[in-house]
Each structure stands twice: as structure tokens, then as C-alpha cells.
Amino acid sequence: MLSLPNYLARLYSEQIMIKILILPRALIACMAFISGFCIMTIEMLGARILSPYFGGSLSVWGSIITIFMLALALGYLLGGRLSTRTPSGVTYALFFIGAALFSVPIILFADIIMNPIMINIEDARYGSLFASIFLFFIPTSILGMISPYSVRLMVDKEEHSGHMAGLLYFISTLGSALGTLGTSFYFVLWYEVNQILWGSVLSLMLAGFVILFFDKFLKAA
């Protein structure tokens, strides 16, 4: 039977451990929300970016959704494999920074990329498909790596893995839903497409640097 001083010392140590775990988990959950939000923000703007060249038909939307789904699938696969190695806050941060950097060409070089595709591929279905590959595939794949890697960073015990995975995918999907709603209902009315994209880029960059700052806390998660 524990004496009162020992009991209080144990309770205090458990509270300290909880505090150590909550901060990185809350931070990782926030990062999952941001990644989900940015994924759908970029996807919703895809039709606006492609429509001057290939129109706004259902096939254009189909091309965008197909490329995003394939890119995310690849990202989930690669992120899951990387998570089996020793997890690192630096690696986690690089996902956000890399996604931000590879999103910049969407803003700066969209016309340069799409003009030759439109000229050489007359069928808008395939033109929009190839344009989506060149513009969106790499940054979306990198963003897809974030969710499985986030699960690995949050799980400290094997029996918690299912709960943590469900929680993170709930938060990420919630971010995606709000990104879809916010972009389609409000952002496109208030800002130009490139301004919204720059906002996503800056958000991802900031997230990456915040993770680097709190790297010591992530390693304790």
C-alpha cells in the first residue's frame, strides 16, 4: 500500500507525463487539420486554374479528383513506410515545407505548364489530366505523407494505435471539409485564386517551422 507522500509523488509524476504527451499530440493534431485543410483548398481551386484552358466540364473535375486521389494514395504509402523508421520531428517538418515549396509552381508557372499541353493535346479530358499531373501530383503526394507519419508520432503504445489513427483521420477529414467549405463559400469571393494559394503555401511553411521549433516535444510523444 502506498503511503500518502508516495501516492502524491506518483500522481504528480503521472500529471507531468500527461502534460509532456498532450502538447505534442495537440500540435500534431493541429498539423493534421492544417494539411487536410490545405489539400482541399488546393483541390477546390484546381478547377479555377484549369478552366481557362480546358473548360469547367465534369471531365475536368474528374481529372483533378483522379490525380488528387492517386497522389494521396502514393503519399499514404510512402508516409507509412517512412514512419516505420525512427520518427523525427525534422522529417515531419520537411513534409510541410516540401509541400509548400512544390506548390509554388502552381502559382508562378501554371500558364507556362498548361499552354503547351493545351496546344499539343486537343482533347480537354486528357489535357486536363496531364495538366493536373504536372501541377498537383507532387505537392499532394507530399501532403498525403503527413497523416500516416502523424499517427506514428502520436502513438506511444501499440494498443493506442487504432484510437490515435481514428482520431487523426477524423481531425484531418474535418480540416478537409472546412477547407472545402471555406474555399468554395468564402475565399473565392474575397480573394484572387493566387492569393488563396499563397495563403496555403505560407500556412504550410509556418507549420513546418513551428514543428522544427517544437521538435524536442515531438520526440517525447
pLDDT-based confidence at 13, cuts 50/70/90? very low
Name the pLDDT band for 219 (thresholds 50, 70, 90).
Answer: low
Nine-digit cell string for 76:
499514404
The whole-number average pLDDT for the span 11-23 is 38
Distance CA(62)–CA(128), nearest Å, equals 9
The string of pLDDT tens digits covering residues 71-101 is 999 999 999 898 888 778 889 999 999 999 9
- CB-CB contact of 84 with 155 (8 Å): no
Identify the sign of the CA torsion 127, 128, 131, 132: negative
CATH class of 34-219: mainly alpha
- Span 34-47, pLDDT tens digits: 999 999 999 999 99
Whole-number pLDDT of residue 18? 36
pLDDT beyond 80 at 208: yes
- Mapped onto helix, strand or coil, the DSSP state of residue 103 is helix
The rounded mean pLDDT for the chain is 85
- What are the sequence ranges of the domains in the chain? 34-219
In this prediction, residue 159 carries a pLDDT of: 59
Residue 143 confidence (pLDDT): 96
Please report the pLDDT score of residue 216 as a whole number: 65
pTM, 2 dp: 0.84
DSSP string, 35-97: HHHHHHHHHHHHHHHHHHHH-S-HHHHHHHHHHHHHHHHHHHHHHHHHHTS---HHHHHHHHH
What Å distances lie between residue 116 and 47, 113, 133, CA to CA? 18, 7, 14
